[in-house]
Amino acid sequence: MSPSRSLTARERARAELTSEIKHQARAQLAEHGAHDLSLRAIARELGMASSAIYRYFPSRDELLTALIVDAYNDLGDAVDKAGKAHRKPRLRWRACCTAVREWALAHPQEYALIYGSPVPGYAAPQDTVAPAARVPLVMLDTVRGAHEDGRLDPAFPGPLLSPTLKAQADAVAAAVETDLPADAIARAILAWTQLFGMISFELFGQLVGSVDPSKPFFDHAVETMAEFVGLRA
């Protein structure tokens, strides 16, 4: 199994069909939601026996896990790309937040799969942890950039951190190897929950009848959170 060896026909076929299965699964997801994801339906759509799926995924849960990991990574890629397009922290922040929302609107069921209510009876395995961390990491990294330029300047002092929260924020800082102060970490986490709260509310229909369409509110909130976090224009 030397890494440079070219793939056999069998390996190529396998990779291709694996991704076709996932592709069909995503299509089903888009139409019926995660709970109704059916191996038989996927097989039917692919014109193969339902038992054949088991050559590729040992169970429905494993397929779900793969879809979850893919979704996190797809979103992560989109946000990475958006972030890399800008150097100035405020612009980067804006681009990242917008990228999250746009990805969510373009992939509502995949968004629901990863940020909606957990599928009951399904426990997300360890494999999802790292991909799930990608978006908050990019956001934190944006804040770190501003901090390193000495331009991090929160709009108002805000309450002191409790000892527990400070310890948690310090632990996060240590984990991502930055010297961001705990207060900045806490602000970033708050903005992170704000961002996804807003998007979930939009997607799940809670904003109908108040801020609907939601883009103006979204944009406003993104700017507000940027100021709050300290990314001045």
Picked from its own copies, DNA, none, the partner binding residue 135 (CB below 5 to 8 A depending on kind) is: none
Picked from its own copies, DNA, none, the partner binding residue 125 (CB below 5 to 8 A depending on kind) is: none
For residue 152, what is the DSSP state? B
Task: Compare residues 6 and 126 and give the one whose CB is closer to DNA.
Answer: 6
Kindly state the smallest distance separating residue 151's Cβ from DNA, in Å.
Answer: 52
Picked from DNA, its own copies, none, the partner binding residue 190 (CB below 5 to 8 A depending on kind) is: its own copies
Which residues are registered as beta bridge partners of 231? 152
- Interface with DNA, residue 30, by CB under 7 A: no
Question: Which runs of consecutive H residues, i.e. helices, occur in the chain?
Answer: 9-32, 39-46, 60-84, 89-106, 108-115, 129-132, 134-148, 163-175, 182-203, 215-229
Q: Which stretch binds DNA (CB under 7 A): 8-16, 94-102, 109-117, 162-170?
A: 8-16
Q: Which residues bind its own copies (CB under 8 A)?
A: 32-36, 109, 112-113, 115-121, 124, 129, 132-133, 136, 155-156, 158-159, 161-162, 164-165, 168-169, 172, 186, 189-190, 193-198, 200-201, 204-206, 209-213, 216-217, 219-221, 223-224, 227-228
Kindly state the smallest distance separating residue 68's Cβ from its own copies, in Å.
Answer: 12
State the maximum Cα–Cα separation within the chain, in Å, rounded to a whole number: 62
- Interface with DNA, residue 23, by CB under 7 A: no
User: For 7, how many CA atoms within 13 A lie in the half-sphere containing its CB?
Assistant: 8
Q: Which two tokens stand for residue 161?
A: 């951190």
Task: Compare residues 1 and 156 and give the one whose CB is closer to its own copies.
Answer: 156
Rg (CA), the chain: 21
Question: Hey, which residues between 46 and 75 contact DNA (CB under 7 A)?
Answer: 47-56, 59-61
Kindly state the smallest distance separating residue 50's Cβ from DNA, in Å.
Answer: 4
Picked from its own copies, DNA, none, the partner binding residue 9 (CB below 5 to 8 A depending on kind) is: DNA
- Interface with DNA, residue 31, by CB under 7 A: no
A 10 A CB-CB count for 13 gives: 11
| Backbone region of residue 153 per phi and psi (left: phi > 0; alpha: psi in -120 to 50; beta: other values) | beta
Classified as helix, coil or strand, 231 is strand
For 207, phi and psi rounded to 5 degrees?
-95, -5
Q: Which two tokens stand for residue 208?
A: 């109908």
Q: Which residues bind DNA (CB under 7 A)?
A: 8-11, 13-14, 17, 37-41, 47-56, 59-61
